[in-house]
Amino acid sequence: MRISARTQYALGAMLALAGADRPVHAEWIAGSQEIPRRFCDNILLQLRRAGLIRSQRGPDGGYWLARPAGDIALADVIRVTEGVEPAARPFPAAAAPLAEIWDRLRSHEDALLSEITLADVVASGTHPSALAQQETH
Amino acid sequence: MRISARTQYALGAMLALAGADRPVHAEWIAGSQEIPRRFCDNILLQLRRAGLIRSQRGPDGGYWLARPAGDIALADVIRVTEGVEPAARPFPAAAAPLAEIWDRLRSHEDALLSEITLADVVASGTHPSALAQQETH
DNA sequence: TATTATTCCTACTTGTATAGTAGGAATGGT
DNA sequence: ACCATTCCTACTATACAAGTAGGAATAATA
């Protein structure tokens, strides 16, 4: 389970937005999440194009979530920054049974990341037990 | 869950050895698993140094498993080829709750790959149901 | 309308890892 | 002596990740 810096930053930015109650500047996001300033711009742009956040230009502009934090899963963010994987090269027939295992792992990962929302993670910051319950249902 | 070509090949090679009942040549392993010939050498060398396989030089030399296929987990092979991850960079404090999630995913992955052995995978080639039972105990 | 702060966009640079290849030395059977 | 094999170091080429550069577009404010 590879997590690129880009993805980590994107999730951080989304969590920052989830915790804010009004539009915030890229400057502030970058600062609070320790994201290199211009790289942050770059990532926010990508998130906006994907429809996860919205923005306003000019002084007193900023960014905010396009949907409530409870409606955005971690997987939604990750899919954007990691892009869609280029369909693994043709499998050596002899090792085919492994494919089933990779599939199982991928499914589990996908299920978990799809059911945890930004709101869950924000809540887990204050209620440390919140996330622990996620896996059970 | 990233699987490099190297790891995929290494697992293929190990499965090939698990299915053989006597020492086999790198030539044959490379052929049956569609591994580039010299890259295969390279990988077998790494597996031998890690103690997973043994070898014999000269004509009629070859490779074989160092332990029974039932005693070698997929994770044993993967740890060798993927090396040990270089301890993720310091975490932006603001996104700390994510660390817990990455940990959970990694643990699950590790548990699954540690309990499936080469023998299990070989068996699943003939009994397609064999692998499906693994996750339950 | 000029100024200024912000988002927006393309393209570039640089570092690192992956996927292999090259050339040959060492070994062991015949 | 010969030959097939494993063994070993080092090299190359490509792709991707991480981040930077330069500036255009937009919008509030004076």
The domain spanning residue A50 has which CATH number?
1.10.10.10
| Local confidence band at A131 (pLDDT 50, 70, 90 cut-offs) | confident
Domain of residue A99, residue span: 5-136
Chain B: closest CA distance from residue A55 (Å) = 22
A95 touches chain B (CB under 8 A): yes
- Pair of tokens at residue B67: 């332990």
Q: In whole angstroms, give the CA distance from residue B1 to residue B134.
A: 19
Whole-model pTM: value is 0.91
Total number of domains in chain A: 1
Find how far residue A137's CA is from the centre of its chain: 21
Q: In whole angstroms, give the CA distance from residue B7 to residue B13.
A: 10
List residues with CB under 7 Å of strand D: A 4-6, 9, 36-39, 42, 56-61, 82, 86; B 25-27, 38, 41-42, 44-45, 48-49, 55-59, 61-63
- Pair of tokens at residue A137: 């249902």
Chain A: closest CA distance from residue B11 (Å) = 8
Q: What is the pLDDT along chain B (137 residues), one digit of tens a residue?
A: 789 999 999 999 999 999 999 999 999 999 999 999 999 999 999 999 999 999 999 999 999 999 999 999 999 999 999 987 766 666 777 778 999 999 999 999 999 999 999 999 999 877 766 676 555 44
* A98, A102, A110, A135, best to mutate vs chain B, most B CBs in 10 Å: A98
CB within 8 Å of B106: residues ≥ 6 apart: A1
